[in-house]
Amino acid sequence: MKMTKPQPSKSGPVPEIYARRESAVRSYARAMPRQFTRAEGVWMHDSAGGRYLDFLSGCSTLNYGHNHPVLKQALLDYIAADGITHGLDLHTDAKADFLDALESLILRPRGLEYRAMFTGPTGTNAVEAAIKLARKVTGRELIIAFSNGFHGMTLGALACTGNAQKRGGAGVPLSHVSHEPYDGYHGPDVDTAALLEQRLSDPSSGLDAPAAFIVETVQGEGGLNAASAEWLRRIAEIAKQHGALLIIDDIQAGCGRTGGFFSFEESGVKPDIVTLAKSLSGMGLPFALTLFRPELDIWSPGEHNGTFRGNNHAFVTAAATLRHFWANPEFVEGVRERSDLLEHRLARIAARHGLSTRGRGMMRGIDMGSGENASAVTTACFDRGLIIETSGPHDEIVKVLAPLTIDTDVFEAGLDILETAVGDVLSQSYGVAAE
């Protein structure tokens, strides 16, 4: 019989080794104090026998669920046959196969002639490569990033990130980046693209000529703010007019999370540079990619490198995702249907409680008004076996990042838990407020 409902354990025995040996920097483990042992599809299992429905999906790293059988089998076969696991940037059949699939199934159908750069296999490495390249190509230093943007934790990417707590970890001033208001940042009446254009066109604004704009179409960490297609086109145009490259950081919103393989497809924008990571391998293996127009490929050999820049296991599973999911129109249609369901369900919850929703595609959330409320909701969900997390400048957005492949009935079951939790939290807080 198919599982549709989670069965959380009361509490998990969590080994003492974590407190003794793992750095205090760990975060998600604090809110979900279980020891997980096994996962498949939308389900995670803990060491006490509990079963959890995963609406976090590794922050959009597991768009196809945990350990998808097709990807898993491809990887097992590769390992069993002693496929190359590590080969620096040497040619391997796994890499060639991935590039073939990328070209034929993703790039060509979309009219994109990108070159692929395999950076170190984390999103922040892909971003660092992107901004280095933009600076190298243009001979300029400044990057225009946007409010609430999140681009990574290494020094170059962190400078592009808006979050003050993350920035505070740098220990040095973060330079060569200007953070401009994102679409809608100053409310519906202020056209933030126009503000930016005015400053860039003014030789006395103090804003230097930029090497690049770096932008997310939907801000995964920054609160699920979704830029309009019109705004994205304006930003692309402004970048072009001012000699800046357009980098779309598609690490969280790409790989189908908003519907298309790239999140910018429906806007018609063709970025100069694109960064991908998270769900690229499909199975959660470390993998990152920086794509760019071939004319920009002015790297000298090894000018940007890294030990793990070719993760062959990830090539294998990534190629399998492209063939299994992206070559299949039903998959794309299915994501659209689930996305509509999610939009509908969240709108209903929001309407009932006078809240607002955020996001686009399968990357949506609900604004709980405060981090306290949002945290109460995610705790209430976890107690019922639903893994879900918050986002936004004050962690005030409860975000739903369910696998794109989730069955409708399971999806509904999870959203039922969320709906109940929101109701419980708000009635309690009203109760508190009324006293």
Q: Which of residues 30-69 bind a second copy (CB under 8 A)?
A: 30, 32-40, 44, 47, 56, 58-59, 61-62, 66-67
Nearer to a second copy, 300 or 433 (CB): 300
- Smallest gap from Cβ 116 to a second copy, in A, equals 5
Select the residue interacting with a second copy from 394, 407, 412, 429 (CB under 8 A).
394
Q: What is the dihedral of CA 28, 30, 32, 34, to 10 degrees?
A: 120
22 binds a second copy (CB under 8 A): yes
Phi, psi of 339 (to 5 degrees): -60, -40
271 binds a second copy (CB under 8 A): no
Select the residue interacting with a second copy from 11, 198, 328, 370 (CB under 8 A).
198
231 binds a second copy (CB under 8 A): no
- Smallest gap from Cβ 115 to a second copy, in A, equals 5
**Contact 275/127 with Cβ under 8 angstroms?**
yes
Nearer to a second copy, 211 or 426 (CB): 211
Q: Using the rule CB under 8 A, give the single segment among 22-30, 320-328, 352-360, 416-424 that binds a second copy.
A: 22-30
Site string for a second copy, 153-192 (x = CB under 8 A): xxxxx-x-xxxxxxxxxxxxxxxxxxx-x---xx---x--
- Smallest gap from Cβ 342 to a second copy, in A, equals 22
Helices of type H across 139-208: 155-159, 164-168, 192-201
Select the residue interacting with a second copy from 1, 17, 433, 434 (CB under 8 A).
17
Nearer to a second copy, 111 or 301 (CB): 301
- Smallest gap from Cβ 273 to a second copy, in A, equals 11
Query: Which residues within the stretch 311-350 sit at the binding site for a second copy (CB under 8 A)?
Result: 311, 313
108 binds a second copy (CB under 8 A): no
- Name the packing angle between helices 371-383 and 408-434 (round to 10°): 130
116 binds a second copy (CB under 8 A): yes
10 binds a second copy (CB under 8 A): no
DSSP character string of 343-377: HHHHHHHHHHHT-EEEEETTEEEEE-SSHHHHHHH
Phi, psi of 174 (to 5 degrees): -95, 115
Phi, psi of 275 (to 5 degrees): -110, 140
- Smallest gap from Cβ 434 to a second copy, in A, equals 29
Q: Using the rule CB under 8 A, give the single segment among 131-139, 233-241, 348-356, 420-428 that binds a second copy.
A: 131-139
Bridge-based pairing of strands 115-117 and 289-292 is: antiparallel
142 binds a second copy (CB under 8 A): yes
> Which candidate, 139, 142, 171, 174, places its Cα nearest to that of 156?
174
Task: For residue 278, give Cα distances in angstroms to 24, 82, 256, 376.
Answer: 24, 26, 11, 27
9 binds a second copy (CB under 8 A): no
**Contact 177/147 with Cβ under 8 angstroms?**
no
CA dist., res. 385 & res. 7, Å (int): 6
93 binds a second copy (CB under 8 A): yes
210 binds a second copy (CB under 8 A): no
CA dist., res. 187 & res. 22, Å (int): 42
Query: How is residue 220 annotated by DSSP?
Result: T
Instruction: Name the helix (H) or strand (E) containing 247.
Output: strand 245-249
Q: Using the rule CB under 8 A, give the single segment among 3-11, 289-297, 324-332, 354-362 that binds a second copy.
A: 289-297
